[in-house]
Amino acid sequence: MIDFKKYIAEKISENIESAQNINKYIEVPPNDDMGDYAFPCFQLAKVLKKAPQIIANELKENLKTDNIITKIDVQGGYLNFYINKEILAEEVIKEIYNNEKYGFSKKGEGKNIIIDYSHPNIAKPFHIGHLRSTVIGQALYNIYEYQGYNVKGLNYLGDYGTQFGKMIEGYKRWGSEYDIEEKPIEKLTEIYVRINNLCKEDEKVLDECRNNFKKLEDGDEYCVELWKKFRDLSLKEFQKIYDILGGRFDSWEGEAFIAPKAREVIEILEKNGALVKSEGAKIVDLESKGINTPCIIEKSNGSTTYASRDLAAILYRARTYDFDKALYITSYEQNLHFKQVFEVAKLLGLDEKYTNGLEHVSFGMILLPTGKMSTREGNTIKLEELLEESIQRAETIIETKNPDLENKKEVAKKVGIGAIIFNDLSNNRVKDEIFNWESILNFQGETGPYIQYTYVRTNSILEKIEQLPDVSKIDFSLMTDKYSQDIIKLIYNFENILEQVTDKNEPSILSRYLIDLSKAYSTFYNENKIIVDDENIKNSRVYLTLAVNKVLKIGANLLGIQMPDKM
Residue count of the chain, please give it: 567
Cβ contact 325:353 at 8 Å = no
Residues 70-111 have pLDDT tens digits of 999 999 899 999 999 999 999 999 999 999 999 999 999 999
The full 3-state SS of 522-537, as one line of letters, equals HHHHHHCCCCCCCHHH
Q: At what angle do helices 335-345 and 306-321 cross, to 10 degrees?
A: 60
- Show the domains of the chain with their CATH numbers: 4-83 (3.30.1360.70), 117-258+321-367 (3.40.50.620), 383-559 (1.10.730.10)
Buried b (16+ CB within 10 A) or exposed e, 125-149: bbbbbbbbbbbbbbbbbbbbbbbeb
CA distance 42 to 47: 10
CB atoms within 10 A of CB 291: 16
Full-model pTM: 0.92
Q: How far apart are CA 443 and CA 441, in angstroms?
A: 6
Rg (CA), the chain: 28
In degrees and rounded to multiples of 5, residue 389 shows phi and psi of -65, -40
Closest by CA position to 511, among listed 429, 439, 433, 441? 429
pLDDT in the model for residue 369: 67
- Contact between residue 517 and residue 458 where contact means Cβ atoms under 8 Å apart: no
If one compares 466 and 55, the residue with the highest pLDDT of the two is 55
For residue 434, the cross-strand partners are: 367
Nearest-angstrom CA–CA distance, 395 and 415:
9
pLDDT digits (tens, 9 = 90+) for 362-392: 999 877 666 565 545 555 677 888 899 899 9
- Give the N- to C-terminal CA distance of the chain in Å, as an integer: 34
Q: What are the pLDDT digits (tens) for 248-266? A: 899 999 999 998 999 999 9
Whole-angstrom Cα distance, residue 227 to residue 92? Answer: 56
**Phi, then psi, of 433 in degrees rounded to 5:** -125, 135
Percent helix, percent strand, percent coil in the chain, to nearest 5 = 60, 10, 30
Residue 547, pLDDT score: 97
Residues forming a β-bridge with 115 = 153, 327
Closest CA to 551 of 140, 245, 97: 97
Residue type, 301: N
Position 22 confidence tier, pLDDT thresholds 50, 70, 90? confident
Query: What's the farthest any 2 CA atoms get from each other in the chain?
Result: 88
Query: pLDDT tens digits for 195-254?
Result: 999 999 999 999 999 899 889 888 899 999 999 999 999 999 999 899 999 888 999 999
Whole-angstrom distance, CA of residue 512 vs CA of residue 448: 11
Q: Enter the DSSP assignment of 357.
A: T
Work out whether the CA dihedral 396, 410, 144, 521 comes out positive or negative.
negative
Alpha-carbon distance 55 to 19, whole Å?
Answer: 12
- The dihedral through the CA atoms of 145, 150, 155, 156 has a sign that is negative
Task: Give the separation between CA 521 and CA 21, rounded to whole angstroms.
Answer: 35
Q: Which residues, other chains included, contact 506 with Cβ-Cβ below 8 Å and sequence gap of 6+?
A: 428, 429, 500
* Confidence band for 267, pLDDT divided at 50, 70 and 90: very high
Section 119-144 average pLDDT: 91
Q: In whole angstroms, give the CA distance from residue 247 to residue 58.
A: 55
Q: Which residues make beta-bridge pairs with 371?
A: 368
Pairing of strands 295-298, 281-284: antiparallel
